Amino acid sequence: MADHAILAGKRVLLVVAGGIAAYKSLDLIRRLRERGATVRAVLTEAGARFVTPLSVQALTEDTVYRDLWSLTDESEMGHIRLSREADLLVVAPATANLLARMAAGMADDLAATVLLATDKPVLVAPAMNVRMWQHAATQANMALLESRGVRRVGPNEGVMACNEYGPGRMAEPMEIVDAIAAIFAEDAHLPLAGRHAVVTSGPTHEPIDPVRYIANRSSGKQGHAIAAALAKLGAAVTLVSGPTRLPDPPGCSVVHIETAREMLAACEAALPADIAVCAAAVADWRVDGPSDRKLKKDGGGPPALALTENPDILATLSRPGERRPALVVGFAAETGDVLAYATAKRARKCCDWIVANDVSPGTGTFGGSDNTVHLIRADGVESWPTMPKDAVAARLAEVVAGYFAGK
């Protein structure tokens, strides 16, 4: 049996779909709560025909979420927050219908929408008639969901409510509790479990007037990849991202900002952190006193743009003090003499490591998918071969994990 101590403090979002096995979900709620987990429940319309919202509410001691269109639910707890504020989503019972809707990426009720909007692990406990389970459509849907990382517990073999025999019975509540504990245990063994990382990524936009801004060519690819790689190793990641075209990376909480000052404020709000990786291409200067009205060509010639310096986020986070993350990593994008400039930058900004890369025109680093970097630490320089930005990120995350393993 899995160690259930790991369930204490964990937040489970339980989706109860319509099946005779729904009554067992009431017991599941009780058993999870006994072990210190909090359970919030979403009940589908069909689910509410098998268990009453009142019993679910009484057992979870929380509102039962049922209606995608309920204004109250949306204003108090939008469906995005519902899925983000959970550590794990559990669908029990998972009916053939809901599995099909999940596989197709549908969002036609609150349950399906929450499952589509989530970036958290999902565990399903299928429950249905044996023929429905064995049908090629259900098997294909389940295989597709599993290939996307959805976990499954059961179904078990046995006599079904409809008197047929075979696989289709929902796993017992304690088997589901074990499966849930096993998923959390996997995460607890990851090398960066329990560590918080703040990652900056992308460019910043510094307004000139309400329609124009100063920006740069950063795509955010490297920073986003680093955020995803740290999350994959178990870190809780806050990604503070300037405007990019990239989707939010899985498993990270993302704060979208535009200006350097907003980026700094978001980073400081995210502290305390064990790790900070500043991969953003922060604008060095902003317009001093941007116009609150669109600047016009009024015949008087181009406007003079007075610039003022932006705060240096990396240097600010690196400042010694209680709030300083144990490991601060900066980037240095240089167009020549990369190692010399980057080494000087490490000392100037008081960060621990610098990842230096050559962004000369022709290297294709900006916006490209490959990167050639050198990792500069107090004890020397490691030059890595050219590789995809995802691979640079994975390797950097491994080195970060190695750093904490050695502490």
Is 113 among the residues that bind ligand C5P (CB under 6 A)? Answer: no
Q: Residue 93: which H helix or E strand, with range?
A: strand 88-94
Q: Which of residues 146-205 bind ligand C5P (CB under 6 A)?
A: 200
Is 39 among the residues that bind ligand C5P (CB under 6 A)? Answer: no
Whether residue 250 is annotated as binding a ligand: the answer is: no
Is 14 among the residues that bind ligand C5P (CB under 6 A)? Answer: no
Q: What are phi and psi of 105, to 5 degrees?
A: 70, 30
Q: Which of residues 271-300 bind ligand C5P (CB under 6 A)?
A: 278-280, 282, 284
In the shown chain, the binding pattern of residues 340 to 379 toward ligand C5P, with x for contact by CB under 6 A and - for none, equals -----x----------------------------------
Out of 160, 332, 375, 401, point to the residue binding ligand C5P (CB under 6 A): 332
Q: What number of other Cβ atoms are within 10 A of residue 142's Cβ?
A: 21
Distance CA 16, CA 324 (A): 44
Out of 98, 111, 314, 400, point to the residue binding ligand C5P (CB under 6 A): 314
Task: Tell me which stretch binds ligand C5P (CB under 6 A): 78-86, 238-246, 288-296, 327-335.
Answer: 327-335
Is 330 among the residues that bind ligand C5P (CB under 6 A)? Answer: yes
**C-alpha gyration radius of the chain:** 25
Q: Residue 185: which H helix or E strand, with range?
A: helix 173-188
Whether residue 87 is annotated as binding a ligand: the answer is: no
Tokens representing 295 are 């600047």
Amino acid making up residue 55: S
CA contacts within 13 A on the Cβ side of 195: 29
Task: Tell me which stretch binds ligand C5P (CB under 6 A): 38-46, 305-313, 357-365, 376-384.
Answer: 305-313
Distance CA 316, CA 282 (A): 13
Out of 119, 248, 258, 312, point to the residue binding ligand C5P (CB under 6 A): 312
- How near is the Cβ of 280 to ligand C5P at its closest, in Å? 5
Question: Which residue in 92, 83, 151 sits closest to 119, CA to CA?
Answer: 83
Q: Are 192 and 397 in contact (CB under 8 A)?
A: yes
What SS3 class is residue 92?
A: strand
Q: In 16-135, where does DSSP find H-type helix? A: 22-34, 53-60, 71-76, 79-84, 96-104, 110-117, 130-134
- How near is the Cβ of 281 to ligand C5P at its closest, in Å? 7
Annotated catalytic residue 162: yes
Annotated binding site: 284, 294, 311-314, 331, 345, 349
User: Catalytic residue positions?
Assistant: 162
Annotated binding site for CTP: 284, 294, 311-314, 331, 345, 349
The residues binding ligand C5P (CB under 6 A) are 200, 260, 278-280, 282, 284, 310, 312-314, 330-332, 345
